[in-house]
Amino acid sequence: MSSYSVYVEFNKTDASSDIYAGLHEALIDWHGAVGPAGNGNVSVRLLVEADSVIEAANRGITAARVAALQYNFTPDTVIGIEVISEAELDRRDQRRSSLKACMKRGTPTTMPGSVPLTGNKEGATRPKFDPGHGAPSCPWPAGRDGSAG
């Protein structure tokens, strides 16, 4: 068996703090994280042990839906799911931490494969639509200010 991170998003934006607390409590055995998605929808992230991505997806959706039923979320409220290995989640978290360290220093950050934004005089960049194109790079070596690069 392998560990997978299963993210489930519900088409529900009017959730109270009691709903978030209840979902968290219901999903505690799944090491669940509960909160609003970037668009305001209710979302949960679970850690699921499974033999395959498909099994992890099925188990994660089922657990999330069962927890949400107590708050009258209908089965068709699930509007999205992402399943990734725990190793990939760790890699992404490490990448985000590196990016935050660069941003915290108040320096421009680029990513390999970035392209200039059109009409931007400051030369800001955005990544191409390839989430696996590498870690962000800072303009100076790691450790210069005591933080990771």
Taking only the tens place, the pLDDT of each residue in 104-118 is 665 554 444 444 444
138 vs 50, residue with greater confidence: 50
Q: Calculate what percentage of the chain has a pLDDT beyond 90.
A: 52
Range of the structural domain that residue 107 is part of: 96-137
Residues 17 and 76 placed together within one structural domain of the fold: yes
Q: Do both 114 and 84 map to the same domain?
A: no
Judgement on whether residues 18 and 70 belong to the same structural domain of the protein? yes
Predicted pLDDT of residue 102: 64
| Alpha carbon distances (Å) from 141 to 102, 105, 146 | 11, 13, 10
Diameter over CA atoms, the chain? 53
Q: The domain that contains 83 carries what CATH number?
A: 3.30.70.100
Residue 50 lies in a domain: yes
pLDDT at 126 over 70: no
- Please check whether residues 34 and 75 belong to one and the same domain: yes
Contacts of 143 (CB under 8 A, 6+ apart): 149
64 in a structural domain? yes
Contacts of 22 (CB under 8 A, 6+ apart): 67, 70, 71
**63 assigned to some structural domain:** yes
Please state the domain count of the chain: 2
pLDDT band at 21 (very low <50, low <70, confident <90, very high): very high
Average pLDDT for residues 74-87, to the nearest whole number?
Answer: 91
Quick check: 99 pLDDT over 80? no
Residues 75 and 127 in one domain: no
**21 and 74 part of one domain:** yes
Measured CA to CA, the distance from residue 69 to residue 9 in angstroms comes to 14
> Does 122 lie in the same domain as 71?
no
57 in any annotated domain: yes
Does 45 share its domain with 110?
no
Both 12 and 76 in a single domain? yes
**CB 30 within 8 Å of CB 46:** yes
The residue that leads in pLDDT, 87 or 11, is 11
